[in-house]
Amino acid sequence: MMARIWTAAVLTLGLCGSAGAQQMSAAQEAAYQALWQTTSDRQAAYAAGQLPAAERAFAAVLALVESGRPGEALTKAAALHNLAAVRADLGRLPEAEAVAREALLLRRDHGAVANAIATSERLLATILNDLGARAEAMALLDSVVQAKLGNPEVDATLPERDFAALAVMSAETGNTEAATAMLAQMEPYLPGMTAPQQAAVYTALGRVQSLSGRPDLAEAAYRQVVGLTAAFPPGPDWTLTDHATALGSLATMLQRHGRPAEAAPLFRQALAMLDAGEGGAPVRANLLVGLG
Which pLDDT does position 60 carry in this prediction?
A: 82
Any residues with CB less than 8 A from the CB of 176 and at least 6 apart, and which? 170, 208, 211, 212
Residues in a beta bridge with 232:
none
pLDDT digits (tens, 9 = 90+) for 155-182: 665 577 888 888 998 898 889 999 999 8
Q: What are phi and psi of 235, to 5 degrees?
A: -165, -170
Q: pTM of the full predicted structure?
A: 0.69
In angstroms, rounded to a whole number, what is the distance separating the alpha carbons of residues 102 and 80?
7
Fold of 1-156: 1.25.40
Mean pLDDT of the chain, nearest integer: 81
pLDDT tens digits, one per residue of 11-36: 333 433 333 344 445 655 555 565 56
| Cβ atoms 62, 289 nearer than 8 A | no
In the predicted model, is pLDDT for residue 66 greater than 90?
no
The confidence score (pLDDT) of residue 16 equals 39
Mean pLDDT, rounded, for 187-208:
90
CA distance 56 to 38: 11
Q: What is the pLDDT of residue 86?
A: 86
Give the residue extent of every domain in the chain: 1-156
pLDDT digit string, tens, across residues 114-148: 888 988 998 999 999 989 898 999 999 889 888 87
Integer Cα distance of 204 and 168 in angstroms: 6
Largest CA distance in the chain: 66
CB 239 within 8 A of CB 47: yes
The mean pLDDT value for 50-68 works out to: 80
Strand partners, 235: 238
Distance between CA 178 and CA 75 in Å, rounded?
A: 39
